[in-house]
Amino acid sequence: MTVTEDAPAATKEVGKDRRRKEDQRLITGRTKWTDNIQLTGMLHAAMVRSPFAHARITSIDTSEAKAAPNVVAVLTGADLGEGQGVCINAWPITPDQKAPNHLPMPSDRVAFAGEIVAVVIARSAAEARDAAELVDVDYDELPAALDLREAAEDKVLAHPDLGTNKSALWVFDSGQAGTGGDVEEAITKARSDGIVIEREFRQQRLIPAFMEPRSVVVDPTGEQVTMWSATQIPHILRFALAATTGVPESKIRVIAPDVGGGFGGKLQTTPEEWIIWAVARRLGKPVKYTETRSESLMSGHHGRDQWQKLTMAATKDGTLTGFKVELLADLGAYVAIVGGGVPVLGAFMFNAIYKIPAYHFACQTVLTNKTWTDAYRGAGRPEATFGVERMMDELAAELGMDPLELREKNWIKHEEFPFTTVAGLEYDSGNYEAATDKAKEIFGYDELRAEQQRRRDSNDPVQLGIGISTFTEMCGLAPSRVLGSLDYGAGGWEHASVRMLATGTVEVVTGASPHGQGHETAWSQIVADRLGVPFENVEVLHGDTQISHRGLDTYGSRSLVVGGEALIKAADKVVEKARPIAAHLLEASVDDLEFKDGTFNVKGTDKGMGITEVALATFAAHNLPDGVEPSLDSDATYDPVNFSFPHGTHLCAVEIDTETGGLKMRKYTCVDDIGNIVNPLIVAGQVHGGLVQGIAQALWEEAVHDDAGTLVSASFVDYLVPTAADTISFDVAHTTSPSLTNTLGTKGVGEAGTIASTPAVVNAVVDAIRHFGVTDVRMPCTPERIYKAIHARDGGAPTEGAAAAHFDAQDTADRTDGAS
């Protein structure tokens, strides 16, 4: 066997723009989504949901529905009783956090419009839906707590028994923590001899709007009760089912088959899952439930929804001296699985890339009678990044400084890494200068500034604005010890297994359950390099707790930096297990072997043996060294030592039509430092999608409730998810400061685009019209808001709480009787 010399870089898989191996089956639909699953004797469920935001249930008459064709059962919360379990909050952010009990199907009172009050089980989905219309529910409407700021004043209670809407107040203070000075002192000083900028920003409520609606199938026949679910978190789901329904964990199998997107929206344990679990077990038959798009928008958890009161102190030369953050965060009707914790993640990110000597963060979470909120792409970090990046532009404007110069004056210099921030995190690596220089050049910053000036000077009806966002974020959730210190209910490790099959192919099991990210491709590339086997010979398995028994799933840009590291450690263990066997077969000393490109070579000789040959020999087990077990398979569980801190400079230019408020994006350049890149194509996809999602918050999306608590933007007619037709071609580039905390030197990229882009766009909008006296435009920056900001200085007004009708109102059926 010949020894290969140093392989040219082109043969390495890591770094190659491999087309995603999962795409053919995903794009052509030749795969298993939860809703495709058909089981013998399977029944179908439809939900009856409350049309009221807050009401007492006075009676539920199910008799007509029960008599409908092929209806097997109609069950209410009272019927299911305690057997239905409870929806959990895994992150009580303070010891005295107030949280209402969250039954999957309450029997006495509903707390948001869309809450489930009855479930109909029939032989077909159509019959279940028909019968759901026949369930007659009487409600006694109660006053609803809807507006976040009013709810914080406890005028109307979302849950009267709690006595308050205020769930928890979470505070970090750098003076108390010893990570910095006293922010009040800094602000007082700045009021006398420096500059204080005070702003209130609204983070509107968003809807994750994943492509595949949520779906669940439960098969109670068999020793393990099996749940298929369109979830991001099959492992956490199994744990929560065991913890709340009394079924031993070993009797539960959860499968997340191919899952069509999540964006955090499927990082949840849902009432629907718990209800179907209870119903299937009660009936002893498999049951399926797939939500409609309307149900998804109305009752799947929402994201964001904050008021941010921000106070920034600086010296007159633009040196930051203090930053005070006071948040109100809308939990909606219940404290979701990590609902209270999402805004708290922002505590570590409001200081961003800047050296801020004094910092205070306080977040009051508030219960309202609206859809519950939880993680949505970025989860806490987009909100924080928006707040600080908007403030940096405001401060620059006040100082008359170029906003990039102000940032540079205050950011951590590249030679100052590792750097411990005022929020107590240690940033391992980064180079903000390099990313910014590259972004400015690609963007043509100076020329666009010159054009902006020309348009201002000539009073052009089309004004140009330039927005900046020099973001960083913390991802790769998360070191378990840190999570423990924050009272989070689980660890942050990840698991991987590598199995060498006899014929030379490799099975990889990952605990990071993907829902569209491309794990199968990236993991194959990593293993191909590590074991020296062909990319095509690696199969990546995931999402089924019978195959992948350990894992903490996919969210928080963690899969590669945590799960990928577990994979590397497992693959390295395979090599170490193969080494003595190879040495034995090559009749060489273990110390004389070197492993390279899939082959064990005896140093200084031309003798060698491929790892796949070792695998076959291990399978046969005819000739192994004494005491060596006949297996190369290896597992590893990796607990990260630190977060991952991607950063980047995003520059956005928009044209504002001052006659209409219309907006046209002119140019968007981002230079992200995400460390080393495993697959540039997947990264480009993550960046493009992330950017559009963040731009959508800035310009288009908002979950609006009317004053009765009904979701008005309840379909894609009014909840404006952009399409390719609404975007421009982005300039995407990278600088590289490899992460020092994982072997591959990678950083998370799944959320970076979303975190960075929102403030870049809003800063551009405000920059275009600042000379009209505008200092803010509330998101989404609709043309109406922009127009009014220019002409009436009223860009912060809420939009009208109504949607246009596009269907005949006379045809509209009475939807209060159980229709969804």
**Contact positions vs other proteins (CB under 8 A):** 125-126, 129-130, 133, 292-294, 659-660, 662, 699-700, 702, 704, 712-713, 715, 717-718, 720, 722-723, 725-726, 782-784, 787-788, 799-813, 819
- Minimum Å gap between C-beta 715 and other proteins is 8
Q: Are the beta carbons of 354 and 390 closer than 8 angstroms?
A: no
CB 693 → other proteins: shortest distance, Å? 14
> Could you tell me the smallest distance in angstroms from the CB atom of residue 218 to other proteins?
21
Taking 3-state DSSP, the helix, strand and coil percentages for the chain, each rounded to the nearest 5, stand at: 35, 25, 45
Count other Cβ atoms within 10 Å, centred on residue 19: 12
> Closest CB to other proteins among 354 and 730?
730
Q: How far is the CB of 294 from other proteins (least distance, A)?
A: 6
Closest CB to other proteins among 679 and 697? 697
Q: From the CB of 210, what's the least distance to other proteins, in Å?
A: 17
Report d(CA 31, CA 557) in Å as an integer.
Answer: 25
Token pair of 782 as six digits: 């609709």
Considering the complex, state which of residue 24 and residue 124 has its C-beta at the smaller distance from other proteins.
124
Q: How far apart are CA 772 and CA 355, in angstroms?
A: 32
Beta strands in 440-561 (DSSP E): 462-472, 494-500, 506-510, 538-542
Based on CB atoms, which residue is closest to other proteins, 745 or 783?
783
Query: What is the C-alpha radius of gyration for the chain, rounded to an integer number of angstroms?
Result: 28
Of 11 and 660, which CB lies nearer to other proteins in the complex structure? 660
d(CA 122, CA 43): 6
Task: State residue 299 phi and psi, 5-degree precision.
Answer: -120, -15
d(CA 691, CA 715) in angstroms, rounded, equals 23
Residues forming a β-bridge with 253: 226
Q: Is 652 helix (H, G, I), strand (E, B) or coil?
A: strand
Which residues on adjacent β-strands are paired with residue 311? 198, 324
Tokens 């519950």 belong to: 372
H/E stretch holding 454: helix 445-457
Minimum distance from residue 659 beta carbon to other proteins (Å): 5
- Provide the 8-state DSSP code for 412: P
Nearer to other proteins by Cβ, of 533 and 769: the residue is 769
For the bound state, the minimum distance from the C-beta of residue 658 to other proteins, rounded and expressed in Å, comes to: 10
Query: Least CB distance from residue 411 to other proteins, whole Å?
Result: 35
Nearer to other proteins, 192 or 810 (CB): 810
Q: How far is the CB of 708 from other proteins (least distance, A)?
A: 16
Contact residues for 679 (Cβ-Cβ < 8 A; gap 6+): 15, 16, 17, 18, 518, 521, 522, 525
Least Å distance, CB 700 to other proteins, is 6
Residue nearer to other proteins on the CB measure, 213 or 343? 213
Which residues have CB under 8 Å from 193's CB, separation 6+? 315, 316
Give me the residues paired with residue 419 across strands.
427
**Distance from chain centroid for Cα 802:** 29
CA 625 to chain centre: 48
Nearer to other proteins, 431 or 820 (CB): 820
Put residue 795 in one of left, alpha, beta given phi > 0 → left and psi -120 to 50 → alpha: alpha
**What is the end-to-end Cα distance of the chain in Å, rounded?**
68
Smaller CB separation from other proteins, 736 or 799:
799
Closest distance of CB 51 from other proteins, Å: 13
Those residues with Cβ within 8 angstroms of residue 3's Cβ, 6 or more apart along the chain or in another chain: 596, 599, 601, 606, 608
Nearest by Cα to 675 from 5, 8, 1, 15: 15
As given in the structure block, the two tokens for residue 754 are: 């979303």
Minimum distance between the CB of residue 717 and other proteins, rounded to whole angstroms?
Answer: 7
Whichever of 228 and 787 has its CB closer to other proteins, that residue is 787
Instruction: Tell me the two tokens of residue 715.
Output: 């379909």
Cβ 242 to other proteins, closest distance in Å? 33
Q: Output the smallest distance, CB 269 to other proteins, in A.
A: 25
Whichever of 141 and 657 has its CB closer to other proteins, that residue is: 657
User: Whole-number minimum distance, CB 712 to other proteins, in Å?
Assistant: 7
Is 200 in a helix, a strand, or coil? strand
30 or 806: CB nearest other proteins: 806
Q: Which residue, 699 or 756, has its beta carbon nearer to other proteins?
A: 699
According to DSSP, the residues that pair with 312 across neighbouring strands are 197, 323
Please name the residue that has the structure tokens 């963690």.
558
Residues 528/535, Cβ–Cβ less than 8 Å: yes
Q: How far is the CB of 292 from other proteins (least distance, A)?
A: 4
CB of 725 to other proteins, least distance (A): 4
- 727 or 743: CB nearest other proteins: 727
How many angstroms separate the CA atoms of 621 and 814, rounded?
A: 72
Report the alpha-carbon distance of residue 721 to residue 214 in Å, rounded.
18
Shorter beta-carbon distance to other proteins: residue 12 or 293: 293
User: CA–CA separation, 751 vs 173, rounded Å?
Assistant: 27
**Can you tell me the distance from the alpha carbon of 348 to that of 379, in angstroms, rounded to the nearest whole number?**
12
Pairing outcome for strands 647-657 and 136-141 = unpaired
Assigned token pair, 438: 């590259």
Under a CB-based contact definition with an 8 Å cutoff, are residues 234 and 254 in contact?
yes
Which one, 69 or 246, has the nearer CB to other proteins? 69
